[in-house]
Structure 1
Amino acid sequence: GKLISPELYKLMITLNGKKSMRDIQLDLIRQQGGSLVSIEEVQALLERLDSSYLLYSPRYREARKVIISDFSAQKIRHCSHAGVSYPKQEEELQQRLETILSTQHVPSLPHGTITALVAPHIDLEAGKRVYSTAYQAIKGIRPERVIILGVGHSMTKEMLSLTTKTFETPFGTVETDKKAVGELMRAGKDILSEEDFAHRDEHSIEFQLIFLQHILRDVSFTIIPILCGSLIGYLPEYSRERYKSIGH
């Protein structure tokens, strides 16, 4: 990440791609209470921002294109939060999850087959009570395939993002159901992201997967990983009623 000063931030939010160097110079002068800022200083500042990929410039777009292309070529989606949000060693992670699962008593469940589970994707410690209640509920089941709907925090335009990549965690790898994912891609192409880059650093599916691997350690299962973006762009009006009407 990049740390920027409040003063620089105030300037950056005014850079709309339409201002001239003179416009930016005047903004800086006003921001500094009338102190003179030369065009050369403005140019140097913009060059530093561009070199740090903080401007939506050709340099930034080309670098982003390369990063997305590199990820697209990978067959495995490596875990991005191991060693940061949870232990990267298998035994330590197993102990951590056992501690979390023992936080709550086993919940009383309604009769019938469990077909869906709602679980948090927040920090494991902060959400341990709900993680415990949720994942204890599926102990003993033996699914062949699990559909994981995660929040696509970095998704700003598309409604959904799918990937065929194999997912890796400290517990090993889990295959995606490539045939099913392919069918979904063909059926939903109008609302799907053209690439799967949103999956690279997203934690919402990764957190569910480590619990699933731990709970279902003796079960061979595949996954359908789906990241969900915002519906805002698809709503002509922002209301609860309109939100509920989507899909009807």
Structure 2
Amino acid sequence: MSAEIVEKDSKNYPILRNLQYSPLKQGEEQYIVLWDPSGLSSEKLVLPLNFFYLFQFFDGEHSLEQVGAEYLKKYGEFMMPDRLTKLVSDLDEKLFLEGDRLKQVQAQAFEAYRKLDARPMAFAGRQYEDDPAQLRAQIDGFYASKEGPDKGKAECAGQVIRGLVAPNFELKDAGSIYAWGYQELRHGQVPDVLVLIGTCHAGLEGGVAFTDKDFETPFGIVPVNRAIIDLIRKESGETFFLEDIAHLREHSLELQLPFLKHALGEGREISIVPILVDFPPDTLTGGEYQQLFHRIDQFLTIT
């Protein structure tokens, strides 16, 4: 006789999503600002540190009564149940919690993304110039800056470039570091098909996410390599495309494209295979690494 699995009420056993946090100080008071790195929610929430402490217990395993007990144990104060309920309600309203409401919004977002012909620019005009002429000048400035390579000789000049490790930090702060890497591409031999692998800062359930969307840039559209994308889909079905919407708000690949087009020449025809990766700690430390290795083997076999 199999045991019956009872699903816990998400309102009483809340599960916090993978969010990003930053400290905020106002006078002598300290707060934490929460936001959604995936862009699914545009909301932000400012909380005092004592509320932030509770989030480690929003794991689907602790009831609100147990969360309140943890608060009492930590601070020696009783938190009224209605305050805790209000906090959970605010988090759910902002799509910061797992649950039915989040699933509905996610489904709508997935559908909208899959109807797009190309991934729109998410950071142009903020992290780099959105006007082509201004962008050229901006990138030229990174090369010519005192921290950049200027017109110095590339270490791999004339050689076949098989890979490049580049930053994914904001261009305005790290542009000259990008320039040192892309200096090698400017003077090396680079293939027409480029596999771009970037970190998914918002996290991925499956560890790997491809997308079949072309990428918009101020220098024009950068197309994906349809032959490779179609082969991967043929061999693996939707396995590696289930979380392709992660590309929509992720900056790690978008920030490479202005430098890539600038380094290789805006008129050169290239295609890309865009891949985001993220391996949750549980896959490495929680006994799930065999599943992770299987997915990596599956990907390598296809490619």
Distance 1:219 1:143, change over 3 A: farther
Q: Distance in 1 between matches of 2:164 and 2:214?
A: 22
Q: Distance in 2 between matches of 1:65 and 1:5?
A: 32
The structure with more strand, counted as a fraction of residues? 2
Match of 1:226 among 271, 275, 282: 275
- 2:223–2:272 CA contact under 8 A, matched in 1: yes
Letter in 1 for 2:181: A
Q: Aligned-pair distance for 1:67? A: 2.1
Counterparts of 1:96-107 in structure 2, within 5 Å, are 96-102=138-144, 103-104=148-149, 105-107=152-154
- 1:162–1:193 CA contact under 8 A, matched in 2: yes
Q: How high is the sequence identity, in percent, across the aligned residues?
A: 23
Equivalent position of 2:91 in the other structure: 49
- 1:76–1:165 CA contact under 8 A, matched in 2: yes
Equivalent position of 1:34 in the other structure: 77
Q: Aligned-pair distance for 1:164? A: 1.0
SS at match of 1:13: helix
Equivalent position of 1:130 in the other structure: 177
What whole-Å deviation, never above 9, does each CA across 1:96-119 have from its counterpart, x for those lacking one?
A: 111112321232326642233232
Q: Aligned-pair distance for 1:210? A: 0.8
Mapped pair 1:116 → 2:159: no
Q: Aligned-pair distance for 1:154? A: 2.4
Tell me how large the CA RMSD over aligned residues is: 3.1
What whole-Å deviation, never above 9, does each CA across 1:1-26 have from its counterpart, x for those lacking one?
A: 32322121112222233444443444
- 1:72–1:195 CA contact under 8 A, matched in 2: no
Distance 1:158 1:189, change over 3 A: farther
Letter in 2 for 1:224: V
SS at match of 2:232: helix
Equivalent position of 2:206 in the other structure: 158
Mapped pair 1:217 → 2:266: yes
What whole-Å deviation, never above 9, does each CA across 1:143-187 have from its counterpart, x for those lacking one?
A: 432221222222333232111101001222111111211112334
SS at match of 2:255: helix
Question: What runs of 5+ residues in structure 2 fail to find an aligned partner?
Answer: 1-34, 36-43
Distance 1:166 1:54, change over 3 A: same
TM-score normalised per structure 1: 0.81
SS at match of 1:138: helix
Q: Aligned-pair distance for 1:29? A: 4.8
- 2:132–2:218 CA contact under 8 A, matched in 1: yes
Q: Distance in 2 between matches of 1:132 and 1:154?
A: 26
Letter in 1 for 2:48: S
Letter in 2 for 1:230: F
Question: What runs of 5+ residues in structure 1 fail to find an aligned partner?
Answer: none
SS at match of 1:92: helix
Mapped pair 1:67 → 2:115: no
Number of corresponding residues = 242
Mapped pair 1:16 → 2:59: yes
Letter in 2 for 1:158: G
After the TM superposition, list the runs of 4 or more consecutive aligned residues in structure 1 that deviate by more than 6 angstroms: none
TM-score normalised per structure 2: 0.68
- 1:162–1:185 CA contact under 8 A, matched in 2: no
